[in-house]
Homo-oligomer: A and B are copies of this chain.
Amino acid sequence: MARSVVIYSGGLDSTTLMYHLLAEGHEVKALSVNYGQRHRNREMAAAAAICGRLNIEHRMVNLTALLAVFDGNALTNTGVALPEGAYAPETIAQTTVPNRNMVMLSVGIAWAVALKFDAVAFGAHRGERTNYPDCQPPFADAMDRAARECNFEPIRVLAPFVNGVKADIVRRGAELGVPFDLTWSCYAGGEQHCGRCGTCIDRRTAFLQAHVADPTNYESDLPLGAF
């Protein structure tokens, strides 16, 4: 049986990933990283609730000291306005914490080594319009290679959704009975999903494309064509 650490945000993608690995027979532990993102409280609450329901060990690591290094982006710096509307190259760059996925994977790999686990998994997938470099197949492949070399026993990096889009994840989640209503995607950090930020728009679009009912209460449900 494979034993895997999941990089876990409590969002739609990583929750479906966790259910997917459990369905494939993996033993799973979940790692959430607080890197100062403005939506961290909602993310962490969602992650803890879902891990509790699944009886999965959940560790949260506080890496806010990295704020000294990561400056000038909208996710961690409240002096930068969060862009609204669908993602485009300029707004992607504004919401990218530099090297976020490598930092989270490297900490997950450290935990996997300490646990004598086999793998670390993350929910990277293709974007509809533009994409984060560190969610794409060449990055996932390179991290897999690095993880096989970093330790006396090789660790694998798994990214089973990396060739799909978010609608494929919604379809897989629906098959697996993922409690989508408990997951949290919005970057704005309000009480409800805002419905307007790039991540909310991606979430709404993915449910529509997958023909799966979206249980999310959005603060604003302006037609997607308005963005």
Contact = CB atoms under 8 A, between A and B. Distances in A.
A114 interface: yes
A102 interface: yes
Contact of A66 (B110, B145, B149): B110
Interface stretch (A46-54, A69-77, A80-88, A165-173): A69-77
Interface stretch (A93-101, A179-187, A194-202): A93-101
A209 to B, nearest CB: 26
A160 B76 CA distance: 34
How large, as a class, is the contact surface on chain A?
A: 35 or more
A124 to B, nearest CB: 12
B70 A61 contact: no
A218 interface: no
Contacts of A151: 98-99, 133-134
Interface of A: 31, 59, 61-63, 65-66, 68-72, 93, 97-103, 105-107, 109-111, 113-114, 133-134, 136, 138-139, 142-143, 145-152
